[in-house]
Amino acid sequence: MTEIEPGTPSHVAQQRQRASQLAQAVRSELQKAVIGQDIVIDDVLTALIAGGHVLLEGVPGLGKTLLVRALARCFGGEFARIQFTPDLMPSDVTGHAVYDLQTEQFKLRKGPLFTNLLLADEINRAPAKTQAALLEAMQERQVTLEGRALPIAQPFMVLATQNPIEQEGTYPLPEAELDRFMLKVRMDYPDAEQERDMVRQVTRSTRADMLDVQPLRTVLQAKDVLALQRIASDLPLDEQVLDYAIRLARATRSWPGLTLGAGPRASIALVRCARARALLRGGEFVVPDDIKGCALAVLRHRVRIAPQLDIEGLEVDQVLGQMLDQVLAPRI
């Protein structure tokens, strides 16, 4: 049997197939622990493959933290968790200089930010100053400590959670930070059958009121994530599909009912997420449905609904849904 030369179409196709199978294996593992949240799992994996960060929003008890812990269990890289509280300081996140009595010099003690997978739990409970400690790391993949720029190991992904209904003792995330999150994913209640399965599994578990993530297999290593990201970024993308992503982002800037539109970072996120989705479903190229499928999660935190629609009880997803129905997708 002749060997396939690297770089040939057959070799590239085999790489894509293996990458897709690996991503689907991670999805299967996550579905064992997080029941009734298949769309959310796909969104989180999309962001992982696209090299972005995720803001997870949902009422307590839906499994936001469980999902991140399950992903950490399936991932062989480093994982850190920060519980955001009102008294959390920026140095608690990034690290700080410590005076060493033996050497009589200051040493840098790195904070939990120096990891591959970071869970920022209840991020809106910390003041803006502490939230801002994440900005440089999320955008530039480095942290400046005592005037020194220290790189963060790759891959690096922040998964932040927040509760949308609790307002007391919380600090809304500033627009600049919201824009750093590639996706804002909303976790909703599971349907009746899925909730029945969940209750059945949890009540068999020895872990009080939560599912155990220990049985999950470690499927991904850090180098595998980097390979998935590289393979996804090379997926073919027709100019018409690229134009569709840009038209969607630009439409938000003049759409009736929206007072703030999405910036160019949204167009970039749409394309990167669409490539990741295409790889996740095992596609050989990006189709318009890949763009449309991730549009809500990419755009919902980058736009602002008009006050009068907010008073009428309309939500941003409904306005964006109308826009997605009316902006014509190319036929490929």
DSSP 160-188: EEE-SS--TT--PPPHHHHHH-SEEEE--
CA distances from 88 to 138, 263, 317 (A): 19, 31, 32
For residue 168, what are its two tokens? 């007391």
Among the listed residues 122, 120, 123, the one whose alpha carbon sits nearest the alpha carbon of residue 157: 120
Per-residue pLDDT reduced to its tens digit, 95-148: 887 877 777 777 788 889 999 999 999 999 999 889 888 988 999 999 988 788
Neighbouring-strand partners of residue 71: none
C-beta of residue 289 within 8 angstroms of C-beta of residue 245? no
What is the b/e burial string over 96-125, where b = at least 16 CB atoms within 10 angstroms of the residue's CB? eeeeeeeeeeeeeeebbbbbbbbbbbbbbb
28-49 pLDDT, tens digit per residue, is: 999 988 888 999 999 999 999 9
The crossing angle, in degrees rounded to 10, of helices 264-280 and 239-251 is 130
Q: In a 10 Å sphere around its CB, with 0-12 CB exposed, 13-18 middle and 19+ buried, how is residue 156 labelled?
A: buried
291 near 270, Cβ under 8 Å? Answer: yes
Angle, vertex CA 329, rays to CA 46 and CA 293, nearest 5: 20
Predicted pLDDT of residue 166: 67
- Any idea of the CA torsion for 232, 303, 121, 147, to the nearest 10 degrees? 80
Measured distance CA(163)–CA(166) in Å, rounded: 6
**How confident is the model over 251-267, as a mean pLDDT?**
93
Structure tokens at 5: 């030369």
More confidently predicted of 259 and 312: 259
